[in-house]
Amino acid sequence: MSVYGPVVKIHPVVLASIGDSYERRNEGASRVIGTLLGTIDKHSVEVTNCFSVPHNESEDEVAVDMEFAKNMYDLHKRVSPSEVIVGWYATGFEITEHSVLIHEYYSREATNPIHLTMDTALQSGKMNIRAYVSAQMGVPGKTVGVMFTPLSVKYKYYDTERIGVDLLQRTRDAPNTTNGLTSDLCQVGGAAGRVQDMLATVLTYIEDVLSGKQMADNSVGRYLMDLVNKVPKITAEDFETMLNSNINDLLMVTYLSNLTQAQIALNEKIVVL
């Protein structure tokens, strides 16, 4: 739980990138580190991207390729100018003495950077993900130390990232199985099914409140009223026409895509001949 500082919102692509960099680490390396990129507002830090940074560490010293980190950040700024350095990450379960030295470097690159740890070794039986912010401590005029304070961590994803998350969820209970991406039409059907299930849950709640089986919750009522107000006023016939038109557009795009792929494959075979 957070006792001080902003809420850290992490996107799935960041976790996947950290896990991939750990799997590709140099032989003999115990952990990997990297730079976190994202956006900052008054109450939260949203981590949307990251990249690994080469480093070497032993029991006595740590060396970080700062020039590589700077060049990578400059390249990222050309692609995503809105993403800034918000902190750094390290794989492992705990904060080491070397973490303090690395954090000092990132403190020069960002204001009050966060430190993210990801337990890729599953020491606690699961992949714990924690975020910290540093604060100086000590007596004035004396040696000053650094204390890492934990922050609240939440997970956030874009609609495009949801596709990958759902795909990973299918293999959670059967890791040895192979699943591929579903077609666009299947995704539309799955989304419609989820909406139908949520509407059924809402209707069940409303019926239980009206019948007196469940106490009414004012906050839920406000959410439902806001939901109803967002629904556009449209007749069933117009809605069906609009839906059919969008489906036809989707089918046409899918058909043209498959036709293009077939033409490319045919062209490659003709060139070979």
pLDDT digits 0-9 by tens, 18-37: 989 988 888 878 889 999 99
CA dihedral defined by 251, 253, 258, 260, rounded to 10 degrees? 150
**Distance in angstroms (rounded) separating the CA atoms of residues 81 and 128:** 31
- Segment 53-72 shows an average pLDDT of 85
User: What tokens appear for 158 in the block?
Assistant: 């874009």
Least confident residue range of 9-18, 58-67, 168-177, 206-215: 168-177
Task: State pLDDT tens for residues 254-263.
Answer: 889 989 989 9
Tell me the fold of 7-159: Cytidine Deaminase; domain 2 (3.40.140)
Give alpha helix (H) positions in the chain. 12-23, 66-79, 97-109, 159-170, 184-210, 218-230, 236-272
pLDDT at 98: 83
Q: How far is the first Cα of the chain from the last one, in angstroms, to the nearest whole number?
A: 65
Q: Which of 70, 14, 5 has its CA nearest to residue 37? A: 14
Band of the pLDDT at 180, cuts 50, 70, 90?
low
Domain ranges of the chain: 7-159, 183-231, 236-272
**Distance in angstroms (rounded) separating the CA atoms of residues 197 and 12:** 25
pLDDT at 2: 47
